[in-house]
A and B are shown apart, each in its own frame.
Chain A
Amino acid sequence: MTAGAPITLSEDHRDCFQEITNVAIGQAADVLSRMLNVFIVLPVPNVNILEPSELTMALTAVDENDSVSAICQGFTGGGVAGEAMLIFNDANFSDIAKLAYDHQAYSDELEMEMIMDAGNLLIGACLNGLASQLEIQFSQGQPVVMGRHVHVPELIDTNKSRWTKTLAIEVNFTIENSPVACDMLLLFTEDSISVLKQKADYLLD
């Protein structure tokens, strides 16, 4: 990457990333609806290049708001690297518990269990979907529950200088006739963007 060269997305690239994500989240939603026996409303993914400050703002909101939980998991493969992040509103947990864990009383342990299960399913299915279309295979790191393992502002401070720009794909999952919703962010590193563009060009041809 030459210094100072602006990273932008052409409409074609944006559409292509959106379409690839659409297919992937379709698979993820299918997995989730089979697990919970509900209908998942399929969202239109939001594709953007984010500045560090914008991302910092989003992450700080997660940390400052006690009633929000997030899990993040790193992935890498074929020159594409990034992190997947799943953000829940805690008010949802009792509703999710009703849907998926009806035999268990609500507790902190169950909440952890729910975050991990949802992370395994949604992030896993999305990454599988992306990987198969891009013809790469991702290694996934151990997921980290934010705010429990780590304090978010510290995480951002230590990384500030390393961050440049990131390609962010945002997906908002909702369940029909239910207040349950969660946000998934797929964040790709700056040096992954050119690889992704190449892959997209190949698909567009």
Chain B
Amino acid sequence: MSIAPEDLKEFHWVMTMIQHIDVGLVVLNRNYEIQVWNGFMENHSIQTSFHTRGRSLFEVMPDIDEDWFRSKAESVFNLRNRAFTTWEQRPYLFKFKNSRPITGTADFMYQNSTIFPLESTSGEIEYISLLIYDVTDVAVNSLELNQANQRLEKLSQTDLLTGLNNRGYLDQSLEREFKRLKRTKEPASVVIFDIDHFKKVNDNYGHLVGDKVIQLVAKTLMDSQRETDVSGRFGGEEFVILLIGTPADSANFFAERLRKKIEKTVVETPEGDLTFTISLGIAEFDNDIRTSVQWLNRADQALYNSKESGRNKTTIYSK
């Protein structure tokens, strides 16, 4: 059989196109032996088509997760379906370097891939074709956006001076826990406290020392609480801790320990050593409380009693 020169010409430019297209193109037979390996694959794998032809894909590219790839490819052979994989499922099928090796931020090429069946003239599926798309830019942008959103979310919940949770996040947590407690009825207590005569610290030592005092209190609080407790800076020199699974007497134990720790804390200033104290109020969760705000108000009333009766002490709310 002779081939017309026109057909040969067409065959030539189709092959040139396949060779140069910026998408990885691989054809495999039933035994996963490579039949086609285009220019994209040659250049990124640094293995020539001449060298790879007829060899097993898993031998040429030992990084491929063989079981995983076989399970996808077998369904294409058997069910004649197209199979798609995304970079979010697996970052890549072939471990290639970033196609922008100098300015790219990812170490490797993120890939989407499509596997589709190639029907022979007799209708059998003897070959499958594999398309590899370089989606590094999309993947990196998407991942960076996610990270940025997470940072923003964290930032929007954090009090910048102390690193504690801020008022907004504290209110949300309190509301969420309150609803949960209404259902579970397990014990829990809210502790609210503030620094005694804080205005005098600011007036006598300056705002920088004032800030340092607040930071020290925050640090002491963070060191004292359990992982499950939620705490935060409620306002100027006011702090709140939500103690989960803790009745009032245990909360009192926690509060007293915190009070004594802070009493012993010394801040060195140019004007000499500074010590300070805190007053605390505790309110235990009670099913007759209607809102999280009311719960916090009870703790606030207890705090007021501590202040009224001499400061540097803890009071538990009682009806």
Residues of A within 8 A of B (CB): 31, 34-35, 73, 109, 112-113, 116-117, 119-121, 124-125, 128, 140, 142-143, 145, 148-149
CB <8 Å contact, A35 and B75? yes
Q: Look across to chain B and name the residue whose beta carbon is closest to the beta carbon of A32.
A: B79
CB <8 Å contact, B82 and A121? no
Residues of B within 8 A of A (CB): 72, 75, 79-86, 88-89, 112, 114, 133, 142
Give the complex CA separation of A63 and B89 in angstroms: 20
> Closest CB of chain A to B86's CB: distance in Å?
7
CB <8 Å contact, B82 and A142? no
Give the complex CA separation of A145 and B72 in angstroms: 18
Given contacts A31-B79, A142-B112, A149-B142, whether A112 and B88 have CB atoms under 8 Å apart is yes
CB <8 Å contact, A31 and B88? no
CB <8 Å contact, B84 and A120? yes
Given contacts A125-B81, A128-B81, A149-B142, whether A120 and B86 have CB atoms under 8 Å apart is no
Given contacts A35-B75, A121-B79, whether A145 and B88 have CB atoms under 8 Å apart is yes
Residue from B81, B88, B89, B133 within 8 A of A124 (CB atoms): B81
CB <8 Å contact, B89 and A116? yes
CB <8 Å contact, A143 and B81? no
Contacts of B89 in A (CB 8 A): 109, 112-113, 116
> Closest CB of chain A to B140's CB: distance in Å?
14
CB <8 Å contact, B86 and A124? no
Contacts of B84 in A (CB 8 A): 73, 116, 119-120, 140, 142-143
CB <8 Å contact, B82 and A140? yes
3 nearest CB pairs, A to B:
A124-B81, A120-B83, A112-B89
CB <8 Å contact, B86 and A31? no
* Sample of 4 more A-B contacts, CB < 8 Å, known A34-B79, A145-B88: A31-B79, A113-B89, A116-B86, A120-B81
CB <8 Å contact, A120 and B82? yes
CB <8 Å contact, B88 and A149? yes
> Closest CB of chain A to B136's CB: distance in Å?
15
